[in-house]
């Protein structure tokens, strides 16, 4: 093998029991997602970072959210696609389906501006997510004014928080070439491949 080339992942996920002090965070994540993602199993090498990330995730996905959690998943999906993170695209689409987003709506996510399945409020949020996922950030004043027509200040903060958290995750998982777990990999191959998705470096 060329010594300049590392196999994916670039750091291996460690078993959850490697860091017993993170059991509460891993259990809460498993309860929400159905598994502990490899992103966190790589991250556990820094327990403080893992705890902080778990706390932010809990705040983003709280049942008390003022923004519907299904829309938050769609926001995270389009932001991740703009950023080019295939790991996060598979995770967010599978997570949206688990929350009850209809497959027709997922299939039309990239036609959201014209699809009758999306409301003007959803379109405004998704426009900002797509633009914010780009580098450099492409959110315009006009987009933000449209967002604020439909959403309260508190909701706007929640929407941007989702985008920002996935900005971190997109770079984390693309840099580490984090391997996809079975469920999101299967979902991506079944439902996203027709839109040009493939696992790429995130395939084990």
CA 60/CA 171 separation, integer angstroms: 18
Whether residue 170 sits in one domain with residue 78: yes
pLDDT of residue 3: 46
pLDDT of residue 113: 97
pLDDT of residue 1: 40
CA 78/CA 84 separation, integer angstroms: 10
pLDDT of residue 158: 98
**Owner of token pair 């439902």:** 191
Whether residue 91 sits in one domain with residue 51: no
Domain ranges, residue 30 = 21-60
The 3 state secondary structure assigned to 57-98 is HHHHCCCCCCCCHHHHHHHHHHHHHHHCCHHHHHHHHHHHHH
* Cβ 86 vs Cβ 200: under 8 Å: yes
pLDDT of residue 9: 80
pLDDT of residue 5: 59
Whether residue 156 sits in one domain with residue 70: yes
Whether residue 73 sits in one domain with residue 49: no
pLDDT of residue 204: 80
Whether residue 183 sits in one domain with residue 106: yes
pLDDT < 70 positions in the chain: 1-8
Whether residue 184 sits in one domain with residue 107: yes
The angle, 0 to 180 degrees and rounded to 10, between the axes of the packed helices 141-150 and 153-176 is 120
98 exposure class (CB count in 10 Å sphere: 0-12, 13-18, 19+): middle
* Cβ 199 vs Cβ 185: under 8 Å: yes
**Owner of token pair 């769609």:** 74
Q: Tell me, what CATH number does 108's domain have?
A: 1.20.1290.10
């Amino acid at each position: 093998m060329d010594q300049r080339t590392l196999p994916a992942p670039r750091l291996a996920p460690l078993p959850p029991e490697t860091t017993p002090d993170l059991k509460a965070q891993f259990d809460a994540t498993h309860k929400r997602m159905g598994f502990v993602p490899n992103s966190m199993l790589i991250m556990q090498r820094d327990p403080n970072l893992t705890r902080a990330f778990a706390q932010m995730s809990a705040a983003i996905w709280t049942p008390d959210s003022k923004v519907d959690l299904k829309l938050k998943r769609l926001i995270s999906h389009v932001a991740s696609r703009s950023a080019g993170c295939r790991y996060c695209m598979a995770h967010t689409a599978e997570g949206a389906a688990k929350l009850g987003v209809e497959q027709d709506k997922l299939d039309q996510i990239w036609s959201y501006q014209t699809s009758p399945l999306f409301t003007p409020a959803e379109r405004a949020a998704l426009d900002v997510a797509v633009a914010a996922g780009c580098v450099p950030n492409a959110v315009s004043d006009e987009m933000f004014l449209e967002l604020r027509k439909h959403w309260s200040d508190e909701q706007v903060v929640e929407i941007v928080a989702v985008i920002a958290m996935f900005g971190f995750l997109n770079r984390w998982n693309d840099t580490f070439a984090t391997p996809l777990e079975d469920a999101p990999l299967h979902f991506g191959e079944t439902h996203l491949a027709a839109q040009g998705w493939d696992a790429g470096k995130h395939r084990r």
